[in-house]
A and B are shown apart, each in its own frame.
Chain A
Amino acid sequence: MTANKEKRRVISRDAARRRRQVESEVFVDLSRLLPFQQSVQDHLDKPSVIRLTLSYIRMHTLLKGKTGIKVEASHAVKCGQVMESGQEWRGCDRGRDDEEKKTDNVEASEETNMFLRILEGFLMVLSTEGDMIYLSDNVSKYMGLTQTELMGHNIFEYTHPCDHEEIRNNLRLTAEEVWCGAKRDFIMRIKGALTHRGRSSNLKSATWKVLHCQGRAKVCVAPSSVSCLLLTCQPLPLSHTLLSTHTFTSQHSMDMRFTYCDQRMTLLLGYSTEELLGRSIYDLCHILDTNCLTKNHLNLCFKSQSVSGQYRMLVRGGGYVWVESHSAVIPSVRPSKSRPGAHQPLCILCVTYVLSGVEEPSLQLSLDQAVHRYLR
């Protein structure tokens, strides 16, 4: 009796082992077909293989709709080409043979690589459910996690819970919006597994990183209607930018009242520093741009960094200028080493770019402007 049972058990165990063997082989085959380097392929586990296969298939479905847009050939013109490595310049005459096709590929890849590098961001393709179907491979530079680790996962697993609603709203696409290629521009917090020095750590010590996402909707009609969001995600660096004379910095308390502004503000807008201290930025801007300022302010309060979009600042004496502000929340005093855990008072630092000249200088939009005009 028991011998029979034993026999059966052995048989079933062997059968199971064989089945698993076959399955593993298929998985290996599948992973070999994935467009990654051998070393990467070998280290993928089964769910990852499927996840990445899914991404691969989905991206191809998405791109099937486009009619092979190739790099345009400009036949007779010599053009400069910047190569990423080395500092060579190369003029090229473009023909259309295979060799040139390869060169085109090289150019395309270099151009996109350069583009992504200069943009200082990565590309993300999001499905309407929030699956990160595709991420460009430089994502590891910003998030500390590689393309293969992240692709196929859902974005809601990696973003701050308080931002989920905003992300969902941005993913909501009506048919009309998709057809028009509706644009999206928002800020979200994502997990970043990078140390201060920029080396990858693991997810256990992840911190929140603020990303500015901009892009548009894309649809592919055939074979099945698939719509998704194409976004470039950029972190918001504030430091070490050469500021022009058309840019000024200002500091505000958390309610957006001025606590400091530099002299260029005076040159550009006419207000002296003393006039502005204690006044709210909402007073200084065109009333119709209140929405824009509110959104900016809220982003700062919740996410600690923001890009404002374009709004109008009133010029002393009349008229306004179009500006855009990049802001961040910073501690208002240098963090002291003696009391590291102490609560830091915060303030807002804004770098404001002036985009236009003074528009409609005779237009009085606020009481202040009227006063200044007559008291000149």
Chain B
Amino acid sequence: MSAGGSDGTADRPADLAAEGECPEQAGSSLPAVEVPRKRKGDVEERSGTHGQHSVDFQKDDDRSRSEGEDQQVKMKCFREPHRQIEKRRRDKMNTLIDELAAMIPACQPMARKLDKLTVLRKAVQHLKALKAGTGSAFTDTTFKPSILSHDDLKHLLLRAVDGFLLVVSCDRAKILFISESVSKILNLSRLELTGQSLFDFIHPKDINKVKEQLSSSEYPRQCLIDAATGVQVQVDAPARPPLLSTGARRSFFCRLKHSRVAGKQDKHFLPCTSKKKDTSRYCTLHCTGYMRSCPSSQLDSEGDSEMESSDLSCLVTVCRLLTPMSHQPPKELTIRPSEFVTRWAIDGKFTFVEQQATTVIGYLPQEVLGTSCYEYFHQDDLLHLADKHRQVLRSKEKIETRCYKFKTKYGSYVSLQSQWFSFTNPWTKEVEFIVSSNQVISGPGHTKDEEAGNSKALQEDTKQIPIIPSLSSGLGTMIYAGSIGTQIANELMDSYRMNSSPSSRACSPFGPTQEKCPQVSPQTSTSASSREEASGSSSQSQCDSRTAAGTSSATSESLAAVSRININPIQGEPSQLDLDLVPGLSSFSSDEAAMAVIMSLLETDVNMGQSEDFEDLHWPF
């Protein structure tokens, strides 16, 4: 089928002769391959570019069906899928026309969709304009026409490959040719390098290595690998290696000197490359290429008369800078997510941590035992996790948390999702401990929220924002975060006590009271504002104004507030804030610490009113 003819016939649906065939033209035919029909990947709709694939599948179906059937049915079966074939072909064409219209500036401002012919005509005009713009490169008949001009291709190639072309002679390692791009990589100009000996620029320890690679036939041990068996094959050195034979292939790594003019170069270093005595810096390159033999008659323009007109061997290589990418964790690998189990007491303090946890959180088990899990939770998650904590203490079922961030030893965050389950002592009917089964959520392919969470975590890594700017010591964290767990636990204990003996309720003395709300957080403006984002409740603005007021003015306020707290019937039984239980608090100046605690309590008071889930709590009324 000639091209001209088929263009016509392909569009004529009535022509049965044509419809059965798959057009055998360059570029359009994609006959069936051993590819499963159901693809896992993100494959475009079959009506698009897969039209041709389906043609053959349909044909195969048709063939098998028609074998046992009569002519009429055969025709019907042919027409049915044929309509679909045609439809697919038309859809594909329409899609292509649309894409073309999108790319052509002349077609874009049109409000309504242009018809096929107009788009094609505009495309012709556009191409003519492009060709006029680029000059004579394409009309030059001496060159093979190509989509890109050679300069463009070169530019793209060099952009993709951080490398340069190098030709060295084998006997003295004289640089015969080096491409322009070397200036980008080594910061040495082409002029400086051409004609020099390569050994002047190589790291001293690599000189022998390169010498080996340059020697052609004289090298006694030519070790090749036979890929079929993996066995090394000792080859008797041939008299002269043939041009571009696979035996003449060379591949090696070497370190080349480079100048420090552009500071950027430092990034490309492997840590091993700088020698302390030598002030020059080196970068590692991967050189691959071939040995070639070339007549040396016109080699030296200096007119070296000693040069015989014998053939000279040289090594033609592409030297490519190594990308230090390997140390990044493979984001794209979907390894089974790590899981580990931890156990904590009712106040959130770790009592058991599985060994595997270390690979995830960085801490060894002994480092976290006894510390409260709240110290590791990210601020934004405190509210929701404390909520779940309360829930799990009162429920007999597994509570699943949302994805949250857990601080690792190195300060970065890892996303986890956990199932919590409380174990109740069957005799005392009290919760003994909580078992937490944690999975690491990482990598792409998750919901947008989690991804956003991940990227946020990464941003935080890079910026290294401490959680509590003003009280950034670990102790500071402990005061507030740790006490959340203690509070929740105390609530529970109280509820037990109250349930067992309602008469034993006692009023707590006036003093710094403890709120039964998990919303304890340091009162810095940054944290308050981030909590604002997290919970979004309007009470936050009140907190902000309070925190903004400063600690000194808050004293009177706090006292008044505290008195209000006592009266507030919702409070139930406040219990002592047992400062001794929170380690490290005493090391702070008492005023500051007390003020800080009071402020946090006040904030939590306000939040309590909004976010408390009253049903679960055993209120004493």
Contacts and interface: CB of A to CB of B under 8 A. Distances in A.
B506 interface: no
B144 interface: yes
Given A54-B99, A134-B148, A146-B26, A154 B44 contact: yes
A69 B7 contact: no
B212 A134 contact: no
B223 A27 contact: no
A58 interface: yes
Contacts of B230: 249, 251, 330, 347, 349
A2 interface: no
Interface stretch (A32-40, A272-280, A367-375): A32-40
Contact of A111 (B35, B179, B222, B273): B179
Given A30-B127, A89-B298, A330 B247 contact: no
A215 B134 CA distance: 27
Most buried by B among A53, A298, A309: A53
What is the size category of the interface that chain B forms with chain A? Answer: 35 or more
Interface string A286-305: 00110110110010000000
Interface string B131-154: 100100110100111111111111
A11 B571 CA distance: 91
B121 A26 contact: yes
Nearest to B56: A204
Contact of A82 (B167, B228, B253): B167
A52 to B, nearest CB: 8
A112 B25 contact: no
A68 B322 CA distance: 28
A169 B331 contact: yes
A6 B569 CA distance: 95
Nearest to A105: B150
Contacts of B34: 206
B223 A242 contact: yes
Contact of B33 (A55, A203, A295): A203
B41 A161 contact: yes
A359 B138 CA distance: 54
Interface in B291-314: 293-299, 301
A240 B146 CA distance: 34
Contact of B100 (A20, A54, A125): A54
Nearest to B52: A47
B68 interface: no
Contact of B295 (A79, A81, A87, A351): A87
A60 B28 contact: no
B554 to A, nearest CB: 42
Contacts of B99: 50, 54
B263 interface: no
A179 interface: no
Contacts of B328: 291
Contacts of B126: 57
21 contacts: A27-B120, A33-B128, A47-B96, A54-B100, A71-B151, A109-B150, A111-B179, A112-B153, A114-B316, A118-B290, A119-B163, A146-B26, A161-B35, A161-B39, A164-B40, A215-B159, A247-B252, A298-B333, A298-B335, A310-B324, A355-B270
Given A26-B120, A168-B42, A294-B330, 5 more contacts: A33-B128, A89-B295, A183-B325, A230-B159, A330-B230
Interface of B: 3-4, 6-8, 10-11, 23, 25-28, 30-36, 39-44, 49-50, 92-93, 96-97, 99-100, 103-105, 116-117, 120-121, 123-124, 126-128, 130-131, 134, 137-138, 140, 143-157, 159-161, 163, 165, 167, 176-177, 179-180, 190-191, 194, 205, 208-209, 212-213, 219, 222-230, 232, 246-247, 249-253, 255, 270-273, 284, 286, 288-290, 293-299, 301, 316-318, 322-335, 444-445
